[in-house]
Amino acid sequence: MLLIGLLRSGGFVELYDSSASLVTRFNYTKQSSWHTYGIDPLTGTQTYLFPGTPGKANSPLIATYGGIVANPKPSVKGGFYPSTQTIYLSSKTSGAAIYYTLDLIEPTVNSLLYNNATPIVISTSAVIRARAFLLGMIPSDIETQTYRFFLFSLLFVTIISYILYDDNLLGISSISRRSSKNIPSSLLLAITMSMTRLQIVVKLSVF
């Protein structure tokens, strides 16, 4: 038995005889982790087979599939958002039904059925997992998107920097009345506002 590595995205296999003459060429499409790809013994056409029969002839009793359903795609990708988002799901495979979950569980045909007339509306952090199904085809891969929402209405980052030199740093009228011994010549004060917290960083440095 000959073992070779194949690209999951598709490709071809060529077999040659001992004189280096091409005997046959076998083209294959995108592969599935749990299915094999070969010749249907009943029709003689290339198809997906389950279960596989490595080292044996393809059985006419095993299930065949006409292809792999295209992954569902969201109209809005996962990320950070300041307000409610409306998510539409679609698959390039015509007639495919999309099922999804919001509880991190792998979607099946028993999960929530997506309807384009009633898209998914989310206003709090959520994880959408979706999968497309079509009779006679291998279900798509699972599409997972994570959505996060800010505590504030807008995301902003503000940095305020003050550079204070000796005249303002030391002395009776300065912010510090201590001796200049062992105190750097300038003070950098950076106030950083992030989306969920106020962080104050004070750094002493010599310029």
Task: Domains for the chain: give ranges and CATH numbers.
Answer: 11-65 (no CATH), 73-149 (2.60.40), 158-205 (no CATH)
Q: Does 122 score more than 80 pLDDT? A: yes
Mean pLDDT (the chain) is: 76
Question: What is the Cα–Cα distance from 100 to 120, expressed in whole angstroms?
Answer: 10
Cis before residue 139, ω within 30 degrees of 0?
no
Inter-residue contact 47 to 58 (CB < 8 Å): no
Q: How confident is the model at residue 38 (pLDDT cuts 50, 70, 90)?
A: confident
Token readout for 140 is: 């798509």
31-35, 111-115, 151-155: range with highest mean pLDDT: 111-115
Reported as a single tens digit per residue, the pLDDT across 39-85 is 888 888 888 888 888 788 888 778 888 899 999 999 999 999 999 99
Tokens 């045909």, residue located: 109
The pLDDT of residue 125: 93
Task: Give the per-residue pLDDT at 44.
Answer: 82
